[in-house]
Amino acid sequence: MCGIIGYVGPLGAVGIVLSGLQRMEYRGYDSAGLAMLDSADGALKRVRVSGKIPDLQRAVEQELPEPVAGRCHIGIGHTRWATHGAPTVSNAHPHLSRNGRIAIVHNGIIENYLPLKQRLIGKGYRFESETDSEVLAHLIEECYDGDLHRAVAMALEMVEGTYGIAVVSSQHPDVIVAARKGSPIALGVGNGENIVASDVSAIVNYTTRVIYLDDEDIATITPAGVQISSLKNVPVNRELRHVDWQPGELEKGGFEHFMLKEIHEQPEALANAIRGRLLEKDGTTRLSGVQMEPADYARVSRIIIAACGTSYFAGMVGKYHFESLADLPTEVEQAAEFRYRNPIIERDSCLLAVSQSGETADTIEAVREARRKGANVLGICNVVGSTIARETGRGVYLHAGPEISVASTKAFSCQVVVLAMLAIAFGRARRMSAGVGRDLVAGLARVPQLAEAVLRQTDHIRQVAEKYADAEHCFYLGRGYMYPVALEGALKLKEISYIHAEGYHAAELKHGPIALLDETVPVVAVVPDVHGRSKTVNNMQECRARKSPVIAIATEGDDEVDQFADDIIRVPPCPDFLAPVPVVVAEQLLAYYIARKRGCPIDQPRNLAKSVTVE
């Protein structure tokens, strides 16, 4: 989604802002821009494009040639993912106030922008964009009486909705004012220079010392430091945190795409996810971040998992874990639905908010609703210090490392494993014996090898993928643990290859979708040797009978499937609860190589954003 970056300090702001924007490209965007303060004439200079960062770079070279660029030591930039208004230059940020002295970049949605806009038009303000964001620039100008911090606070008091915002003004040549409500803002604290960004990946190249703003915080950022207060001007202290991402982690490391790199990182990511958390002797797991004793685990009578997209499918796998390993009734909720129903949350319910980014708006709101209803809430996040991690204050980090590719890969497999570890902790506090716990934990210790075994077959999977790259429709079928994994396989294929792919419970095929099968519609049968396999093998035969080519994802040595499949991808044998991991690695590689053969922009698929921070 949209990205914000701002710099103030002795260095050239143009280069820093451009490279910050580049680091946030993975979030998905369709236009970009920056505003710089030229120290020679004290004027704000703005450059915007409808397009990508290289287009912006070229525009900057023309419109801010040296020595102008070298004279800019403060500036803000933005990548925009269109919501209100098409991705045109005039809708791109930064937006300028009427007098041209204030520039703003904004993430989020101003819900009451229409009445505010009408009122401002009545006062003679002219709007050059169709965006909701532009009202902020004019409101700040209207409120300004010499104090930028106060003007921004007053303007924000008038808006309803969500915002992450950064503001510069030609009247304050060394000040950026930033604020947040519902849309993340982080401050990178340097020596004699400071950065503001919506995403720490834009900061870690300069500093690993980061302060996250809370909702309704407003910060004044100068080269000398940062001061944070509430919108009501009450000073607040926010913790200085150290981000453990290394700049190198944000590079492609020789892979053609971030997605391929992240698929290949899974053995290491999984090893990090389980490190120090398996108690093999006691047959249980230790997840200190959840801050629960066995008695607390035992008191929980129901699990609710709220998540979106890929994290939702991992949550569906979690349902199988909690029911089969911990005997706990479990519901999985699409977070967007959860917040608008009247979810029944009893005192002993535990809500797990599963989110790679920890910034997904619907999942954040599910957390807030569950807390209002008194539930025990845990965050299962990858991004340390993200909104969900901070608001829940308790939970489990994935430790998967930064996920840059828009299509989620390593987060899914780590979520599956973290949910399994949590289910074992719950199970052991309830009815699970030490012996069963020890077997499960021993299985988990081998999970990185399961991913590795599939990665060794990359060449074979690429050859299979290339055969099917011309398909326009595709089905993924599975049951039991493989049902959510089939849904995830279909999601991966559709988002990066633009092939229309449907994931179905294998038994549902006969209830309608089988009408669509013919020789042009391949079916991916997800049939590793887990409970329910033989029934899905029967469904493979039904697909064959309708002439659909069948690609089977099956266990090594399971020769029975050969006669019903046109192509087979093998996964290593493993316990049922871990099978989603090797199978999803196979699905990710299949989707990746199909998309690559079709020439798709794999890391930034059209219309998609990495982190969906609006409803």
Interface contacts to ligand F6R, rule CB under 6 A: 308-311, 355-357, 360, 363, 407-408, 491, 495, 611-612
Residues 6+ apart with CB under 8 A from 17: 5, 6, 7, 34, 36, 75, 76, 77
For the bound state, the minimum distance from the C-beta of residue 370 to ligand F6R, rounded and expressed in Å, comes to 15
E-strand spans in 194-324? 194-197, 209-212, 217-222, 225-230, 240-242, 278-279, 284-285, 302-307
Question: Cα–Cα distance between 94 and 299 in angstroms, integer?
Answer: 51
Q: Which is nearer to ligand F6R, 326 or 612 (CB)?
A: 612
Q: How far is the CB of 612 from ligand F6R (least distance, A)?
A: 5
Closest-by-Cβ residue to ligand F6R is: 309
Closest CB 416 distance from ligand F6R, rounded Å:
13
Please name the residue ranges forming H helices in 308-409: 309-326, 335-338, 361-372, 387-392
Min. distance of Cβ 73 from ligand F6R in angstroms?
A: 34
CB of 183 or CB of 548, closer to ligand F6R = 183
By beta-carbon proximity to ligand F6R, the closer residue of 56 and 398 is 398
Euclidean distance between CA atoms 412 and 312, whole angstroms: 9
Residue 477 CA to residue 60 CA, distance in Å, equals 50
Shortest Cβ 272–ligand F6R spacing (Å): 18
What is the phi/psi pair of residue 43, to 5°? -110, 150
Told to judge if 52 belongs to the known catalytic residues of this protein, a careful annotator would answer no
Locate 77 and state its tokens: 């930039």
Residue type, 373: K
What tokens were used for 558?
Answer: 């399971």
Catalytic residue, chosen from 2, 308, 543, 600, is: 2
CB 593 within 8 A of CB 466: yes
Catalytic residue among 117, 319, 410, 610: 610
Distance of alpha carbon 280 from its chain centroid, rounded? 32
Question: How far apart are CB 462 and ligand F6R at their closest, in Å?
Answer: 20
Nearer to ligand F6R, 129 or 311 (CB): 311
Collapsing DSSP states into helix, strand and coil, what is residue 235? strand
610 a catalytic residue: yes
* Structure tokens belonging to residue 58: 């070229």
Minimum CB–partner distance for residue 606 and ligand F6R (Å): 14
Alpha helices, DSSP H, located in 24-174: 53-63, 113-122, 134-143, 148-158
H-helix segments, 446-563: 447-455, 458-467, 482-497, 533-545
Kindly tell me which of 405 and 539 has the beta carbon lying closer to ligand F6R: 405
With respect to ligand F6R, which residue has the nearer C-beta, 272 or 555? Answer: 272
Q: Rounded to whole angstroms, how far apart are CA atoms 258 and 428?
A: 38
Two structure tokens written together for 549: 């080519």
Closer to ligand F6R by CB, 50 or 311: give it.
311
Active site residues: 2, 610
